[in-house]
Amino acid sequence: MHMHRLEKIWLTAGVSMLVVFLLVLGIMTFGRGIAPPNEHIHRIDPTKVSETPPFDKPQITKIGDNVYKAVMVAYAFGYDPIPMEVPAGATVHFEITSSDVVHGFEIPGTNVNVMVTPGEVSHVSHTFDKPGEYLILCNEYCGIAHEMMKTTLVVK
């Protein structure tokens, strides 16, 4: 099919940019492990969250040198456990599931932003360098008090 010379130049430039973008995203994902959530890491019966370990006891525990694991349950309209506190510089590995509908898990000002789908467990980690009170909020519509669904993580 005939194409104008200028159009060939235009499309070559455009497609090259797309290729560069994709290479950056691909190298980050597969080479450096900076990736979105993955396939099923483990599943859970969403109707039995309160009796299935570790979600029967939502808590934040120290698992190493300034490394914490936060086992959390999202529900309409809040998160367990409360309250949560870690020292500055702590790395927190969050494991979250939902005991009812689909929720979000977002910490504004960080790159923590995952969906919490019932039946699945979402994993996300973050290192909190700066002290402060971090807001954790639900960013997927979940019902009448969706805009109230929040908790905080205090970094001291």
Partner 1 sequence: MTDSKLSTFDRKDGQLVIAHVLFAFAALLLGGIAGMLQGMVKGGTITLPANIGYYELLTAHGVLMALIFTTYFIVGFLYSGVSQTLGGRLLPLTKRLGWIGYWLMSIGTLIGVVVILLGKASVLYTFYAPMKASPWFYVALALVVIGSWLSGFGIFYQYVQWRKTNKGKLSPLFAFMSVITMLLWQIATIGVAIEVVVQLIPWSFGWVETVNVVLSRTLFWFFGHPLVYFWLLPAYMCWYVIIPKIIGGKIFSDALARMSFVLFLLFSIPVGFHHQLMEPGISHFWKYLQVVLTFMVVIPSLMTAFSLFATFELNGRSKGTKGLFGWVKVLPWKDVRFFAPFMGMLIFIPAGAGGLINASNQMNAVVHNTLWVTGHFHLTVATSVALTFFGIVYWLIPVVTGRVLTPRLNKLGIIQTVIWCVGMFFMSGSMHTVGLLGSPRRTAYSTYDDHPDAIMWIPYHVAMAIGGIILFAGVLLIIYNIIALMRAPKGETEYPIGEVSDASEPTPRFLENWKLWIALTVILIVIAYTIPVIDQINNPTPGSPGYVTW
- The nearest distance, CB 64 to partner 1, in angstroms, is 24
Binding site for partner 1 (CB under 8 A): 1-4, 6-7, 10-11, 14-15, 18, 21-22, 25-26, 28-30, 34-41, 43-47, 76-77, 100-102, 104, 106, 108-109, 111-115, 117-123, 133, 135, 137-144, 146-148, 150, 152
- The nearest distance, CB 56 to partner 1, in angstroms, is 16
DSSP 37-66: --S-S-B--GGGGGGSTTTTS-EEEEEETT
- The nearest distance, CB 30 to partner 1, in angstroms, is 7
Q: Are strands 103-106 and 122-128 parallel, antiparallel or unpaired?
A: unpaired
